[in-house]
Amino acid sequence: MHPDIQAALDTVFASDTELYQDRGFQRRIGWGKKPALINIDLANAWTREGNAFTCEGMDTILPATQEVLAAFRARGLPIVFTTTAYDIVEGEHTDMGLWGKKIPAEVLRVGSEAVEIDSRLERRDDELLIVKKQASAFRGTNLNSYLNACGVDTIVVTGTTASACVRATVEDAIADGFRPIVVRECIGDRIAGAVQWNLYDIDAKFGDVEPLQAVLDHLRLNEA
């Protein structure tokens, strides 16, 4: 990101932090007893170059996510991947809904390489894959019931995009009674400032945005 944009955001955040804290925002929700890892839309359409949905920063996001995955796998905790894909992308009865009128969702075809989870993350057979139609991983899926059945009370979130699917998932998570922990280095988006602004706002109102090392330290210190 251009230094001028970062400097402008830093100025805004400094001012807004004072306002938020004076009004009682930016509290910490903290970890519960059992976390699950939710990897949002780390599929090829978002992680590889040359796609309409391609996000910036994968040289940082994917290695950081690999570290979080390794920590969850080492503890045998639940891991979920999501992708967004559609069965019907033509005609008036498409399952893209009205969202397809706003974004190029027609390239996200079920069964296409674009919607496959990036192979660099090495998703395993015992890691749930949710194919969603909306931004939130909770909306219209079995994620809530799956997490409840697993005894999960906290979700650790990675993926894309900060301004849409990550944010919508975090908002629904806290509404449904799950503690959201968002890993800063593991979140991507397409346009300058989108990650920084949305993570700042999420941290103020919907979940705890934490650095990668803090998340890894918590997982290691709380091994069963």
- State pLDDT tens for residues 26-45: 999 999 999 999 999 999 99
Residue 16 lies in a domain: no
Residue 155 lies in a domain: yes
Residue 57, pLDDT score? 96
- DSSP code of residue 167: H
Residue 15, pLDDT score? 77
Residue 25 lies in a domain: no
Residue 79 lies in a domain: yes
Residue 50, pLDDT score? 97
- State pLDDT tens for residues 143-189: 999 999 999 999 999 999 999 999 999 999 999 999 999 999 999 99
Using CA atoms, how far apart are residues 17 and 24, in angstroms rounded to an integer?
Answer: 10
Using CA atoms, how far apart are residues 103 and 84, in angstroms rounded to an integer?
Answer: 12
- State pLDDT tens for residues 41-91: 999 999 999 999 999 999 999 999 999 999 999 999 999 999 999 999 999
Please report, as a single letter, which amino acid is at residue 159: G
- State pLDDT tens for residues 190-204: 998 999 999 999 999
Q: Which residues contact 22 (CB under 8 A, 6 or more apart)?
A: none
Domain enclosing residue 60, as ranges? 31-221
Q: Is the pLDDT of residue 18 over 90?
A: no
Q: Cα–chain-centroid distance for residue 206?
A: 13
Q: Write down the pTM of the prediction.
A: 0.94
| Tokens of residue 190, six digits | 């397409």
Residue 14 lies in a domain: no
Q: Is the pLDDT of residue 93 over 90?
A: yes
- State pLDDT tens for residues 98-122: 999 999 999 999 999 999 999 999 9
Strands 208-210 and 179-188: parallel
* From 55, 150, 165, 186, active-site residue: 165
Using CA atoms, how far apart are residues 187 and 210, in angstroms rounded to an integer?
Answer: 11
| Tokens of residue 75, six digits | 């503890």
Q: Is the pLDDT of residue 207 over 70?
A: yes
165 is catalytic: yes
Residue 2, pLDDT score? 74
Residue 13 lies in a domain: no
Residue 48, pLDDT score? 98
Residue 199, pLDDT score? 97
Residue 22 lies in a domain: no
Residue 5, pLDDT score? 80
Provide the domain count of the chain. 1
CATH code, domain with 161: 3.40.50.850
Residue 224, pLDDT score? 52
Residue 8 lies in a domain: no
